[in-house]
Chains A and B, each alone.
Chain A
Amino acid sequence: MTQQPLLTLQNVGKVFGPVTVIHDVTVSVYPGQVQVLLGENGAGKSTLIKMMAGVYQPDSGHIVVDGRTVTLPNTRAAEALGIATIHQELNLVATMSIAENVMLGRMPTRHGLVDRRALRQQARAALALIGLDIDVDILVGELGIARQQLVEIAKALSINARILILDEPTAALTRHETENLFAVMADLRQRGVGMLFISHHLDEIAEVGDTVTVLRDGEFIAEVPASTSEDELVKLMVGRGIEDQFPRVPENLSQAAEVLIVENLTSTGLFSDISFTVKAGEVLGIAGLVGAGRTELIRAIAGADRYASGTVAVRGQHLPKGSIKAAIAAGIGHVPEDRKGQGLVLDASVNNNLGYATLASTAKLGLVDFAGQRSRATAVAKRLRIRMHTIDQPIGALSGGNQQKAVFGRWIIAASTILLLDEPTRGVDVGAKVEIYELMNTITAAGGAILMVSSELPEILGMSDRILVMRDGRIAGELSAAEATQDAVMTLAARDVDETHEQR
């Protein structure tokens, strides 16, 4: 690595009030290389990225670009030096066309009017940089996340970005889309673009990365080659070994009662003729590609959406269609896939968020039981080890893992016995993931049942006692924990899926 780095953060530090969030970290991005930034939520990754992007200025140390020390007072200065960030939340205007988005802020004009022909041409040229051949008149909002991401990358490259910062770009992508992205990254590497890559998926690191910088609590821990084993990476990241990433302890189900029985459940255009049962103490995993109808199925069972026909029964009692209230009363708790959009009221306190499901049931004469609510919330926050300042803190200020634990906590307070989990560990770091898995064990050990939808195959394979695979709204097959492998699941999930289905 004798090459000169494109960008170096040299011994940088950052302090917010009394708290040091970054202490003496050095990280470099080299041309044609993918530098991975690895660490748990709160380790300081995003602070470092923001320094590179000109959002934050380091309090100590300095930033070196092309061998020259620079200051980046704002994002414009960073862009001028060729540094572009692809955020998880994309900076695109959904109601404008691809071409307009790519050329936003620098639209070609003729006589003061937008020159549509030049606009399309230049946008096409930008997209060609990453080999994306697509109609540039399509509105960005009509594209899937994966395509939107590529549009954003093309936009960055067309403004001569040489350093791409990719903040968890794969979090919302399917396996197939991720591979597409990696192919684009490999191509960019060939052309000398330096990349900084962040991901919670450890298996992606060896696949796409060159070197890994590990951070813990704002400090530099190690720089290791990307080929380092996952166990080793976890140990570096968490500071201790995690013996088992998927600590599932199966219950003996031979005598267990079937607590959730779903029969012939059909919702026109979403899923059809779904039948299965879940026993007390069991974790039933639902695998499948995005769009296979898994989330829709779970939402129907939870009462969040209506369905056309079929029945859902809990302990022998049929639930009415589309009634969340009845589902909750029957013991169902729903952990939705989009924690921020559907799970939590981000501006409200941890205490309030923990109590929404039990607000009415614990009230006396319509008056809120504040004291009881607070003590229940405090107890469950302690039990689930939700890390926070105080219970009155807005929940939006907590890390993803702690937010997710709070969604679980809501249903624990409600004494739910059947949990419907939709992507339960999305955007959650390794340490908190294991805590959530252990929580699942505790729930099933107490006789609870869990239905889990996940796009992370290792999670499905590692935590389920039994796996249903969905394809195009139907159950394509069922696998026991023993016979389930990635290949077996993917064969069932992807059989004769035409590509276009997933592409847009």
Chain B
Amino acid sequence: MSTTTLPTPRRGIDYKKFLANNGALVGLVVLCLALFIATPDFLTGPNLLNIGIQVSTVAVLAFGMTFVIVAGGIDLSVGSVAALSAMSSGWMFASAGLPGWLALVGGLVVGALAGVINGLANAYGKLPSFIATLAMLSVARGLTLVISDGRPIKTAPEVSFLGGNLGPVPMPIVILVIAALAASFVLNRTVIGRSMYAVGGNAEAARLSGLPVKRILVTVFALAGLFAALAGLLLAGRLDSAQPQAAAGYELDAIAAVVIGGASLSGGLGRISGTLVGALVLVVIRNGLNLLNVTSFWQQVVIGLVIALAVGIDVLRRKSRNS
């Protein structure tokens, strides 16, 4: 009696379910195969490294976004926060004369602080995350322009190092791997990470179970800010300068990567590995279209369709789970 199981409906091998859970990965593999066949330029060392470098910024931003989306929120400010962090770091080095390493850390701190403010506004100020971070999107970009007076600032050598090479491997790829492992560790292993899923799944149930929901939310946004800062520094490092309009609009890429990677915008679902695949899908599509000489105008059309397709899969998945 104690081990009685309750039969629930099941239909043989569930292809729909498999595809729904691994759709992004399948899509990525198909995409790479198609590009490999279509153009000899795709599967070359330099091109792959190029993809790696490009994906690093998007993916690192998207890792931070994954925390937020898993916890049931959204962060529209990550692009602006990335720019603000890089610009602050540049200012600390160039104008305030701080040592380079301190300017680097300072940039990260600025990003985390912006995230904390988002989190406080959301958890304690009761602003929906959409609104709180929409405000931060504007504020952070504005501050970036104020600090820089609209001009690029040269970054510290330590920051430029992030955009350089470690032997044959570009640093951004090294940072990407470290960031992925760290984010995955936080989300999967730590109490705060597991709590994010509970908060995103049902915040009230999480609260009544004794989870510190508000503190979790602040942490979530702080992490998103920190990862945004890292992405901003990567971007600045590659150009040896912090640009006032850097990473503008990147928040949409980050959200797209997370959603393509299988997270649900209603919270409680999402994986770092999925987000990485999502970011790769975006970048590989752009890269492939470039190689095939498709104009950037058409690229936007394709990217939009891919996002719609991915969200369609999200809906399909939820349907198959509910029936």
Name the residue of chain A whose CB is nearest to the CB of B210.
A328
Question: What's the least CB distance linking B67 to chain A, in Å?
Answer: 15
Name the residue of chain A whose CB is nearest to the CB of B12.
A17
Question: Is B269's beta carbon under 8 Å from chain A?
Answer: yes
Supposing A366-B191, A368-B190, A368-B194 touch, asked if A388 and B208 sit within 8 A by C-beta, the answer is no
Residues of A with C-beta under 8 A to B202: 341-342, 344-346
Contact B190 A17 (CB under 8 A): no
Of the stretches B2-10, B81-89, B238-246, the one at the interface is B2-10
Question: Is B197's beta carbon under 8 Å from chain A?
Answer: yes
Supposing A341-B204, A342-B204, A368-B191 touch, asked if A356 and B198 sit within 8 A by C-beta, the answer is yes
The proximity string for A residues 50-90 relative to B, scoring 1 for CB distances below 8 Å and 0 otherwise, is: 00000000000000000000000000000000000000000
> Which of A347, A368, A397, A398 is the most central at the interface, judged by chain B CB atoms within 10 Å of its CB?
A347
Contact A17 B9 (CB under 8 A): yes
Interface size of A by CB at 8 A reads 42
Contact A382 B3 (CB under 8 A): yes
Supposing A341-B202, A352-B198, A385-B1 touch, asked if A359 and B8 sit within 8 A by C-beta, the answer is no
The proximity string for A residues 280-297 relative to B, scoring 1 for CB distances below 8 Å and 0 otherwise, is: 000000000000000000
Supposing A16-B10, A388-B5 touch, asked if A359 and B208 sit within 8 A by C-beta, the answer is no
Residues of A with C-beta under 8 A to B194: 352, 359, 368
Question: Is B206's beta carbon under 8 Å from chain A?
Answer: yes
Residues of A with C-beta under 8 A to B212: 325
The proximity string for A residues 335-367 relative to B, scoring 1 for CB distances below 8 Å and 0 otherwise, is: 010000111111110001000110110010011
Question: Is B261's beta carbon under 8 Å from chain A?
Answer: no
Supposing A304-B207, A345-B202 touch, asked if A360 and B191 sit within 8 A by C-beta, the answer is yes
Within the complex, which residue of A16, A21, A324, A388 is in contact with B207, where a contact is CB–CB below 8 Å? A324
Question: Is A399's beta carbon under 8 Å from chain B?
Answer: yes
Question: What's the least CB distance linking A419 to chain B, in Å?
Answer: 13
Question: Is A247's beta carbon under 8 Å from chain B?
Answer: no
Interface size of B by CB at 8 A reads 35
Supposing A341-B204, A345-B206, A347-B268 touch, asked if A356 and B211 sit within 8 A by C-beta, the answer is yes
- What CA separation (Å) do A205 and B7 show in the bound complex? 29
- What CA separation (Å) do A42 and B8 show in the bound complex? 10
Within the complex, which residue of B7, B192, B206 is in contact with A366, where a contact is CB–CB below 8 Å? B192
Residues of A with C-beta under 8 A to B7: 18-19
Residues of B with C-beta under 8 A to A347: 201, 268-269, 321
Number of A-B contacts (CB under 8 A): 106
- What CA separation (Å) do A346 and B195 show in the bound complex? 14
Question: Considering the complex, which residues of chain A in the window 11-52 have a beta carbon less than 8 Å from any beta carbon of chain B?
Answer: 16-19, 21, 42
Question: What's the least CB distance linking A435 to chain B, in Å?
Answer: 11
Contact B10 A19 (CB under 8 A): yes
Contact B268 A16 (CB under 8 A): no
Supposing A345-B268, A363-B191, A385-B1 touch, asked if A17 and B10 sit within 8 A by C-beta, the answer is yes
- What CA separation (Å) do A352 and B195 show in the bound complex? 10
Question: Is B295's beta carbon under 8 Å from chain A?
Answer: no
- What CA separation (Å) do A344 and B193 show in the bound complex? 18
- What CA separation (Å) do A42 and B210 show in the bound complex? 32
Contact A389 B8 (CB under 8 A): yes
- What CA separation (Å) do A346 and B12 show in the bound complex? 24
Name the residue of chain B whose CB is nearest to the CB of A364.
B191
Question: What's the least CB distance linking B13 to chain A, in Å?
Answer: 11
Question: Is B44's beta carbon under 8 Å from chain A?
Answer: no
**Chain A residues within 8 Å of B, Cβ to Cβ:** 16-19, 21, 42, 302, 304, 324-325, 328, 334, 336, 341-348, 352, 356-357, 359-360, 363, 366-368, 382-383, 385, 387-389, 394, 397-399, 402, 410
5 pairs of residues in contact across A and B, judged by CB atoms under 8 Å: A324-B208, A336-B208, A342-B208, A368-B194, A389-B8
Given A19-B10, A367-B191, A368-B190, 7 more A-B residue pairs with CB atoms under 8 Å apart are: A342-B202, A357-B210, A359-B198, A366-B191, A385-B2, A398-B6, A399-B6
**Chain B residues within 8 Å of A, Cβ to Cβ:** 1-12, 189-195, 197-198, 201-202, 204-212, 268-269, 321
